[in-house]
Amino acid sequence: MTPVRLAGAAATILLVLLGGLLALTAVDDVRAHRAAAREAQQVRDLGGQLLVARGERAQVSAQLSALQAENATLRAEAANPTLSMWNACGGGPCSIGPDAVRVGSVPDTFQLLLAFTADVPIRSYVFTFHQWTQFDDCGFEVRCVTGPYQAYDPATSVDTTFTDAEGCSAYVWVIQADQNGTIVPNVRVHYQPADRPTGVCATG
C-alpha cells in the first residue's frame, strides 16, 4: 500500500472513530437531558408533596389547638358545673297566682342563678330557713319575716345571682305573684364552693 493510500485509510478510520465518538456523545447528551428532566420532575413532585404535607401539618396543628381549648373549657365546666334546678315545668310555662308560691332550696357550695320571664309581675325573695317558716306561717306575708333578707322588685323578667350560699346551707328562694299568670323559669345553680363561711353562716 502506498503512503497516499495509507493516509487515506487512516483518515477514513479517524473519521469513523470521530463519527462514533460524536454519536456516543450525542446519545450520552440525550440520556443526560432525560435524566435531568426526570430529576427536575422529581424535585417538582417532592416540592408539591412538601407543600401538601405543610398544609396538612398546619391543619392538624389548628385542630390540636382547637381540641386543647375545648378540653380546657370542658375541664373548667367539670370543675364548676352549672346545673338546671327547676325542671317541673318541662321547659314550658308554669302557673303562678296569689294563693300559692313557688319555693326551692339553695344548695350549699353553689351560687343561685335565679332567672325567669312571666306575663305578670313576680316578687322574688331569698330567705333563711327560719325566715321561710315565718313567711309560710304568716300566709305568705313578708310583714312577719324578721331580720335581713334578699328581696327583688316585682318584675316580669329577672336574671340575678345569689352568692351567699357558696359557703352556707341555710337558704330558700321564693317567688310569688298578686294575680294569676304564667312563668317560664330558668333557675340554675353554679358550683362555686367558698373557702370560708358565707352569708348568715359567717355571722354565727
Same domain, 190 and 112: yes
Same domain, 104 and 75: no
Please give the Cα distance from 160 to 187 (Å, whole number).
10
Give the pLDDT band (50/70/90) at residue 12: confident
Closest listed residue to residue 119, CA positions, set 173, 159, 179, 188:
179
Lowest mean pLDDT among 11-15, 17-21, 76-80, 146-150: 17-21
Please give the Cα distance from 196 to 199 (Å, whole number).
10
Same domain, 193 and 93: yes
Greatest alpha-carbon pair distance for the chain in Å reads 151
Give the pLDDT band (50/70/90) at residue 46: confident
Tens-digit pLDDT profile for residues 166-182:
999 999 999 999 999 99
Same domain, 22 and 102: no
| The pLDDT of residue 36 | 80
166: cell is 357558696
Please give the Cα distance from 114 to 95 (Å, whole number).
17
Same domain, 172 and 184: yes
Return the sign of the alpha-carbon dihedral for residues 194, 76, 162, 95.
Answer: negative
Last residue of a domain, one of 79, 105, 133: 79
Q: Residue 165: is it exposed, middle or buried by C-beta count within 10 angstroms (0-12/13-18/19+)?
A: buried
- Enter the DSSP assignment of 93: -
Same domain, 56 and 67: yes
SS3 88: coil
Residue 24 has pLDDT above 80, yes or no: no
Q: Which domain holds residue 25?
A: 1-79
Give the pLDDT band (50/70/90) at residue 18: low
Q: What's the alpha-carbon Rg for the chain, to the nearest Å? A: 44
pTM value is 0.66
Same domain, 71 and 139: no
Number of domains forming the structure of the chain: 2
Same domain, 103 and 65: no
Tens-digit pLDDT profile for residues 73-132:
667 666 789 998 877 776 678 899 998 899 999 999 999 999 999 999 999 999 999 999
Same domain, 67 and 87: no
Same domain, 53 and 133: no
DSSP string for residues in 103-149: EEEE-TTEEEEEEEEEEEEEEEEEEEHHHHHHHHHTTS-GGG--S--
Q: Residue 187: which CATH number?
A: 2.60.120
Same domain, 75 and 116: no
Last residue of a domain, one of 49, 79, 109: 79
Last residue of a domain, one of 22, 47, 79: 79
Same domain, 2 and 45: yes
Please give the Cα distance from 68 to 73 (Å, whole number).
9
Mean pLDDT of the chain: 85
| The pLDDT of residue 163 | 97
